[in-house]
Structure 1
Amino acid sequence: MHVPDGFLDAPTSVATGVVAVAGVGLALRGARRELDERTAPMAGLVAAFVFAAQMINFPVGAGTSGHLLGGVLAAVLVGPWTAVLCLSTVLLVQCLLFADGGITALGTNITLMGLVGVGAGWLVFRLVRAVLPRTLAAIAPAAALAALVSVPVAALAFTALYAVGGEAPVSFATLAAAMVGWHTVIGVGEALITGLAVSAVLAVRPDLVYGARSALQTRTLELRPAKGPVS
């Protein structure tokens, strides 16, 4: 999913850079409502896990590569705004230290994986949670389905950008088929990893899972004893 330098023309790269800066700015404000002294260390662990997962790249053809995104996993564990910051930090480090992606394409990568991937995944997660029972058991399946959808959506967003400002000597049809087809398969793997990881955290510390807060509140209300004499 990492877009290299020169794959998109300058106007498109500048536009996505502006979008990325605006998105990260909003995320910095939104993350204040998500993080506290308990959840801040979790954000660091999530960023480290996503960094390690994204370092495993494999070619999918047409000059592009595929890997796990981790956006939905981060959003469910630490919140969508904090997830954007986690993904942006990971992408910045990869770009500067490992030449994964390009400096001129950094805004594009943050837009695709940090904004589109996280945003689309969190929206699907919320929609699925609205349909499923408001229990802890429904959190992991909802996260898995959201992860499955988020990956091809981010790939579709990239193909749309390429249609507008593609500069590489690759036909749009070839690129679209490679990106969407392979990233749909990657989405299945992402769904499995996301579901298992969320389940593992829920089993030991459900209070640290941002996406489970409403379910925990519901369970607390159900377990709270009634006041007054019971006849």
Structure 2
Amino acid sequence: MHVPDGFINAPVSVAAGAVAATAVAVSLRGARRELDERTAPLAGLVAAFIFAVQMLNFPVAAGTSGHLLGGALAAILVGPCTGVLCVSVVLLMQGILFADGGLTALGVNITNMAVVTVVVAYAVFRGLLKVLPAGRRSVTVAAFAGALLSVPGAAVMFTLFYAFGGTTDVPIGKVFTAMTGVHVLIGIGEAVITAATVGAVIAVRPDLVHGARGLAVPLKLRVDGRLVDAPAAAAAAAPVPAAARSTRPLWISGLVTALVLAGFVSYYASSSPDGLEKVAADQGIDAKAREHAAAGSPLADYSVKDVSDARLSGGLAGIIGVGGTVLVGTGIFWAVRRRRAEDLTATATAAPSAH
């Protein structure tokens, strides 16, 4: 759903940019509460994983494909504010390095794909957790539902942008019907990917899943051949294995997975246009689309310039994208984490002087 330059006029694009900038600023402050020394590097990994999976277009209908948007996945794994930042980092990398998503439309894309998807998905996710039985299965089910609804939610937001600032004269009813229809189908793929990923992480490290916090598994003791819940004091005193505290195994396995997906599996992704591209071509929305300002980039269209082998070119571009995203994302999230630590230190230092 990357909106190119020329779909939305300048005034609405500027307004969307202001909305996106405000959302990012608010998210930077909110992410200070969500990130700690364990989750800050994982947030960078989540951004890189989203970048990789977005390269894997899957067929959804005749001549149409879809790909992960990632807002639901990021919000559930690392928190809604950090989730907005994760997807925003991905969109920035894609727009600048790979000519994917217009630079003048960056505000539209961040609002659609980062803000709306996170808000819709996390609202549905938290709402369902309040009524479903407490447990890991409920987290996965709620993640599925939130992701499913987040994609048509973004499609509706694009329709609103087009209603106020579309550069072509296409009836808004046609745009709404076409966009929501195809993106409901894409939402199913988004939901499957999100639920599978959240479920996999919960299975090995539930303590690192933001949306699963509070689902502590009670310590069990074997008494007379039966497993019983341990007393609270014993559970509190139980030593935590070093492997359970370290995030390195999960980080390494996640990064390797992202590299494999972007560097190798992406070659087999669907080559059909995605939902927005298909709707734009069918309805004439793309009549005034402009060439991307970074069309001459050495990595434009997810290929490395002057590398003639398509498989090698696309694989190298994917690996470079994952590496760049994890470096930029991790740097940003460590800076946010460090700012939080400085704020806590300043508060603790100032507290005695108040007496």
TM-score (norm 1): 0.89
CA distance in structure 2 between the partners assigned to 1:21 and 1:144 by the alignment: 28
Amino acid at match of 2:214: S
Distance 1:110 1:137, change over 3 A: same
1:147 is aligned to 147
CA distance in structure 2 between the partners assigned to 1:167 and 1:81 by the alignment: 32
Amino acid at match of 1:134: A
CA distance in structure 2 between the partners assigned to 1:35 and 1:78 by the alignment: 8
CA distance in structure 1 between the partners assigned to 2:231 and 2:140 by the alignment: 28
Q: Give, in angstroms, the shift of residue 159 of structure 1.
A: 0.5
CA RMSD of aligned residues (A): 2.3
**Structure 1 outlier segments of 4+, above 4 Å:** 57-61
Q: Give, in angstroms, the shift of residue 81 of structure 1.
A: 0.4
Distance 1:2 1:176, change over 3 A: same
Q: Give, in angstroms, the shift of residue 54 of structure 1.
A: 1.9
CA distance in structure 2 between the partners assigned to 1:39 and 1:224 by the alignment: 29
Distance 1:117 1:54, change over 3 A: same
Alignment of 1:48-197 (within 5 A): 48-57=48-57, 66-168=66-168, 170-197=170-197
Task: Report how many aligned residue pairs link the two structures.
Answer: 223
Distance 1:108 1:144, change over 3 A: same
Amino acid at match of 1:85: L
CA distance in structure 2 between the partners assigned to 1:118 and 1:10 by the alignment: 25
Alignment of 1:5-24 (within 5 A): 5-24=5-24
The 3-state SS of whatever aligns with 1:99 is coil
Greater relative contact order structure (CA < 8 Å, 6+ sep): 2
Q: Which has the larger radius of gyration?
A: 2
Distance 1:201 1:59, change over 3 A: closer
2:213 is aligned to 213
CA distance in structure 2 between the partners assigned to 1:68 and 1:209 by the alignment: 19
Amino acid at match of 2:109: N
* Alpha-carbon displacement from aligned partner over 1:112-165 (angstroms, at most 9, x marks no partner): 111111111100001011110122221111001100010001101110110111
CA distance in structure 2 between the partners assigned to 1:65 and 1:106 by the alignment: 22
1:225 is aligned to 231
2:29 is aligned to 29
Q: Give, in angstroms, the shift of residue 45 of structure 1.
A: 1.4
Is this contact kept in 1: 2:76–2:210, CA < 8 A? Answer: yes
CA distance in structure 1 between the partners assigned to 2:232 and 2:38 by the alignment: 30
2:42 is aligned to 42
Is this contact kept in 2: 1:6–1:168, CA < 8 A? Answer: no
TM-score (norm 2): 0.59
CA distance in structure 1 between the partners assigned to 2:145 and 2:124 by the alignment: 8
Is this contact kept in 2: 1:60–1:179, CA < 8 A? Answer: no
Q: Give, in angstroms, the shift of residue 78 of structure 1.
A: 0.4
CA distance in structure 1 between the partners assigned to 2:149 and 2:232 by the alignment: 42
Q: Give, in angstroms, the shift of residue 53 of structure 1.
A: 1.9
Amino acid at match of 2:165: G
CA distance in structure 2 between the partners assigned to 1:59 and 1:173 by the alignment: 25
Distance 1:225 1:85, change over 3 A: same
Distance 1:171 1:52, change over 3 A: farther
Distance 1:57 1:179, change over 3 A: farther
The 3-state SS of whatever aligns with 1:168 is coil
Amino acid at match of 2:97: L
Q: Where does structure 2 lack aligned partners over 5 or more consecutive residues?
A: 220-228, 234-355
Distance 1:58 1:7, change over 3 A: farther
Q: Give, in angstroms, the shift of residue 60 of structure 1.
A: 9.0
CA distance in structure 2 between the partners assigned to 1:159 and 1:65 by the alignment: 19
CA distance in structure 1 between the partners assigned to 2:137 and 2:58 by the alignment: 33
Distance 1:219 1:6, change over 3 A: farther
The 3-state SS of whatever aligns with 2:213 is helix
Amino acid at match of 2:173: A
